A and B are shown apart, each in its own frame.
Chain A
Amino acid sequence: MTTAMNTELKPEDNIAKGAPVIVIEHLFKRFGKNVVLRDFNLTVHGEENVVVLGKSGAGKSVLIKCIIGLLKPDSGKILVFGENVPGMNPDELDKVRTKIGFLFQANALYDSMTVRENLEFPLRRHWIDLSQKQVDQMVSEALENVGLKNTGDMMPSELSGGMLKRIALARTLILKPEVILYDEPTTGLDPVTSREIDRLILTLQKKYHTSSIVISHDMNCVKNIADRVILLLDGVCYADGTYEELEQSGDEKIKQFFEQ
């Protein structure tokens, strides 16, 4: 087990495999009197899958929402490709968000739009100068990637839980992000569908060479996906290591997450 290294990135850095893509330094976030993150530090490297474990309400979702700029931390730095997210103006945030995908826990598909419109939405908003032919091509490719190429004209309400998750993943990937943040990707799915989603995440990661932070309580998912596991406890990064290292730990606080 090791502690996270804090390495600063410059914007012009070439993001290669193993180079730091996300660097979080001394992050603090509180809601009223409840301190969720206190002096949290983490570094995620290129093409690395980091899984964040922690109890419900420990601040895992808050952490990734701070990374993508949906929540503003009270203090600390979040460097994504060398640029500090909390200090960005809305235009700069939009720009960096084209490089970060976010898979929401409840999928967050727009229920008033068809699957195709859901996938077109981020394309139209970020790259408004795309032709209809290019958009159609990108939507088809995204649907094909998740194995649901014939669902374009369906409404989200017509799809099963697993299909919704796949469509949400397709929407996350349509902008070809370099980093993906997954908020409990297998929660609420049956074991078979969960393993399919795990495999899909790994396949797409290999195809697009992405780095990711995955929040999960599903230990099978953690085992399948994680290059590195960190344990978020009492607002700090309590443990950091591979799945095997943490599984064999004698620390009671760590052991309770691995007891099935």
Chain B
Amino acid sequence: MPLIQDTSEFFDETGNMAKFTGHFFSHGLRPKFEVKELLAQCYTIGYKSFPLIGLTGFIMGLVLTMQLRPSLVSYGVQSELPVMVGVAIVREIGPVITALIFAGKIGSSIGAELGSMKVTEQIDAMEVSGTNPYKYLVATRVLATTLMLPLLTILGDAISLFGAYIGVNISSVTTIHLFFAQVFQSLSFSDILPAITKTFFFGFAVGIIGCYKGFNSSKGTQGVGVSANSAVVLSSVLIFIIDLLAVQFTNLLGLN
């Protein structure tokens, strides 16, 4: 029956992914470390993603402010606009939107790159050349995505808040000092820490799924395309699931 087969495939895939993740912790984090490759990946994954994250962050802050303004004006609380936008961006929208853009750009690129290396036997060639492909390709990419996404989120949040400042000034006049003073007054440690902490998990999910899909790519160009596509879809879904769990966890800790 197709349902039984689909269920069996789902559990097979989940099991294999868990095994792949377990391998990262048991083998990928052992010396000797591929420091040079890790730095190269941090540059590619972090620095080269920054323009896209910055642009989307700026537009997000600007649009969010412009959309919220009419509702707040109708209640006569438009002066609270910086507070509302600031909390929304820092706590939820900034980390999640940045992670989704990151998954689209980096998840697909890792899936396609490793998938293409797999089908053209470059991964086997690497192993023959005395290199552990898991350490060289997987561990470095997963570490780079885990470390770079929080940094990109912080920068994206800052640019997004600047976009929000422009948005506020389209319809009224507020100084940048006043705008940011209001934003930071409304934010506390318990807003920023959980929001940034969860981006480490988002980054890890994007990296490990991109690598898993690439490493298990089936033969041919179609296989590479499927790897890239499923890496983005799966990591995007996982970002929402991790977000849901993170909110529940911070609620339990009383940080909300």
Which of A's residues lie within 8 Å of B, judged by CB? 65, 68, 70, 90, 94, 97-98, 100, 102, 104-106, 108-112, 121-122, 125-126
Contact = CB atoms under 8 A, between A and B. Distances in A.
30 contacts: A68-B128, A70-B124, A70-B127, A70-B128, A90-B132, A94-B130, A97-B130, A98-B130, A100-B128, A102-B125, A102-B128, A104-B121, A104-B124, A106-B120, A106-B121, A108-B124, A108-B125, A109-B122, A109-B125, A110-B117, A110-B125, A110-B126, A111-B116, A111-B122, A121-B126, A122-B129, A122-B130, A125-B129, A125-B130, A125-B131
A126 B130 contact: yes
Given A97-B128, A108-B125, A111-B116, 8 more contacts: A65-B124, A97-B129, A100-B128, A108-B121, A108-B124, A110-B122, A121-B129, A125-B130
Contacts of A126: 129-130
Nearest to A95: B130
A103 B226 CA distance: 28
A173 to B, nearest CB: 13
Contacts of A90: 132
Nearest to B127: A70
Interface string B121-152: 11011111111100000000000000000000
B23 to A, nearest CB: 13
The interface residues of chain B, by DSSP majority, are classed as helix
Interface of B: 113, 116-117, 120-122, 124-132
Contacts of B130: 94, 97-98, 122, 125-126
A55 B117 CA distance: 26
Nearest to A110: B122
Nearest to A123: B129
B199 to A, nearest CB: 28
Nearest to A100: B128
B73 to A, nearest CB: 53
Contacts of A100: 128
A90 B134 CA distance: 12
B211 to A, nearest CB: 16
A108 B126 CA distance: 9
Contacts of B122: 108-111
Nearest to B113: A112
Contacts of B117: 110
A166 B53 CA distance: 43
Contacts of B126: 110, 121
